[in-house]
Structure 1
Amino acid sequence: MRHKALLLVPAALATTLLFTGCGATAESEVQANGNPASYGDCEVTGTKGEYSLETLTKNTLLMKADLPSPAWYNGDTVEDIRSGFDFCLLVNIAHRAGIDNVKLQMASFDGLVAGKSGDMDLSLNQITITDERKKVMDFSDPYFQSTAGVLVKTGADVTEDNLADSTIGIKQGTVGQILVTDTLKPTTAPSVFPGDPEQQAAVAAGTIDAGIQDLSIVLGAASKSGGKLEVVGQIETDEAYGIMMAKGSPNLGTINKILADLKADGTLDKLSAAYLADAYGVDPASIPVWHLK
């Protein structure tokens, strides 16, 4: 549940990952399933090259994001990423566009949504579509619906009734930041963190009582915490994730067509089952829905 940037930061951070697969012509760089090496562990569906995208570099799809992200871009570091919902969605887009090389570059989230992260082909990073963001960037049709989740230290006394009186952490530039400051309006000003790991670490350390971020993201964090963190509530936001591109991108219509195909043939459902349900270890529908007062 990401939101408009409130602070601009340097365009792209130093960490860069290039999966350098050269397609089926270099056998040593192709996995056993016949996919280019840059496709990681993802299964591809549909017809290769059915569509065409205009990319900055021929036969390479450059994607910038705030990485990694449990269940969405799996790995302890950017270099480790070989699977995840968003990563494998990216891979399937590349496959259907006949592109063999997927290149990931690290960038700050608030810089991305402000259009300040430099040239890229797209960003696929659990980015909520908002009217504010659409003023500076183009968005695809939605590919995933989202709610906000309340992440706490396991056993913490944080409830729907006392949330506003708790110390809360939010990630800079996210919808959660606006949700907390404009709607919840907590008694104590929220702590603002540059990234998900910092917010989650503060919750685990007890520096803050709760962290509010996309339900999918905090469920992933709780699942990886070894029982130290839990998600105690979710807040409906009527939000959806979209694929973000530069304003006026010639690829918007084609990306929407590919997404429509991926929905129709069940690929998106398969990605959700493979990477989200198993990663969370809990049915998201079982998390109580809280209503902000």
Structure 2
Amino acid sequence: MNISKRALMAGLALMLMAGAASAADMIGNCAVTGKKGSIPIANPAKPGQLTVEVSLPAPIWWNGDTPDTIKDGMEYCIAAEIAWRAGYDKLEVVNVGWDPLIAGQTHDFDLAMSEISITDERKKVHDFSIPYFSSDIGVLTRTDAPVDEKTVKTAKVGVQQSTTGAAFAMDKLGIADAQVYTDQGDMFAALRSGQIDAAITDTSIVLAEVVANPGKVEVVGQYKTGESYGAIYQKGNANNPTIDKIFQSMIDDGTMKALAAKYLAAAWGKDPATVPYFNP
């Protein structure tokens, strides 16, 4: 083999090695950026992997209708990065009901992420991660029949059971006869079909619904609540402080901000802060 051929073969080998390394640094469609195993978790819920619970659907945060179809999204890629930095290249997504999740009735997982607001009441049941996203409460209506700051209080309002949006609508806005749905998707379907006039839940969630149904629904306003999202941990688990360290490392090195820019700001097409604020 002459020198030029040797150089060519060497170059091809390097390219193949680089490609293999690049492919290895992926979980689903998420390009993980941290160092694998830099903050190890020794005893995950299931050996050899990170197990994460979510209550679907959750577009933009978890892109897909079933665990098997989800390969990216804001929270999925957060979970992928946590798995990688913890030392694993396998991530299992488990779909659970919202009520059992919030009530602490699910088991055998390392963390749960489903746009979950941190509240004192929930802290009685769960441990929470450090906050990784801030969200207020938004008002979603149909584009052909919008409500406003005044009429929302007398409109047919839908809320999801056991959410901070439901508590806000009933306790702060005084909506006594709100339609309560166990499933977020059912609430949004009821809005589109005209069964309710407005749906009240996290601003981040209603903005995602606009993306999923362009021209049919719109976010007309939001209420300032100062909520923050956190991951749920099983109470007292020894790995919780370690996963918190991973969350903090992602905030410190800009990974969290980069994921938000890719999956949230770009998808919504607007800054949530531009949505007008209503007075309760």
TM-score (norm 1): 0.85
What residue in structure 2 maps to residue 232 of structure 1? Answer: 220
* Cα distance between partner residues in 2 of 1:142 and 1:212: 22
- The answer to whether the Cα contact below 8 Å between 2:181 and 2:187 also exists between their aligned partners in 1 is yes
Specify which structure has the higher proportion of helix: 2
Change (3 A) 1:205 1:108: same
Q: Partners in 2 of 1:31 and 1:235 — Cα distance? A: 46
Cα shift at 1:32: 5.6
Look up the match of 1:33: 23
Structure 1 equivalent of residue 16 of structure 2: none
What's 1:133 paired with? 122
Structure 1 residues without counterparts, runs of 5 or longer: 1-29
Match of 2:206 in 1: 218
Alignment of 1:110-121 (within 5 A): 110-121=99-110
Asked if the contact 1:129–1:242 (Cα under 8 Å) also holds between the matched residues in 2, the reply is: yes
Q: Aligned partner of 1:171: which letter? A: Q
Equivalent residue for 2:71? 82
Aligned mate of 2:174, from 180, 185, 196 = 185
Cα distance in 2, alignment partners of residues 114 and 210 from structure 1: 26
Aligned to 1:19: none
Residue of structure 2 equivalent to 1:49: 37
Can you give the 5+ residue segments of structure 2 that lack an aligned partner in the other structure? 1-19
Shift of 1:67: 1.7
Number of residue-to-residue matches in the alignment = 261
Q: Give, in whole Å, the separation in 2 of the partners of 1:259 and 1:32.
A: 23
Q: Paired residue for 1:61?
A: 50
Instruction: Looking at secondary structure, tell me which structure has more strand per residue.
Output: 1
Counterpart in 2 of 1:251?
239
Distance in 1 (alpha carbons) for counterparts of 2:227 and 2:190: 26
Give the drift of 1:282: 2.3
8 Å Cα contact 1:73/1:83 also seen in 2:
yes
State the 1:240 CA deviation: 0.4
Report which of the two structures shows the higher radius of gyration computed on alpha carbons: 2
Give the letter for the 2:231 counterpart.
I
- 8 A contact 2:146–2:220 mirrored in 1: no
Partner of 2:11: none
Q: Is the 8 A contact 1:158 1:166 kept in 2?
A: yes
Distance in 2, Cα, partners of 1:155 & 1:289? 21
Shift of 1:31: 9.1
2:158 aligned with 1:169: yes
RMSD of aligned alpha carbons? 1.6
| Contact 2:116–2:230 under 8 Å retained in 1 | yes
Runs of 4+ in structure 1 off by over 2 angstroms are 30-33, 76-79
Aligned to 1:13: none
Aligned-residue identity in percent: 41
Q: Could you say which residue in structure 1 is the equivalent of 2:229?
A: 241
Q: Which moved more, 1:89-98 or 1:273-282?
A: 273-282
Write the distance in 2 (CA, Å) between the matches of 1:247 and 1:193.
27
The residue type equivalent to 1:123 in the other structure is A
**Cα distance between partner residues in 2 of 1:233 and 1:261:** 34
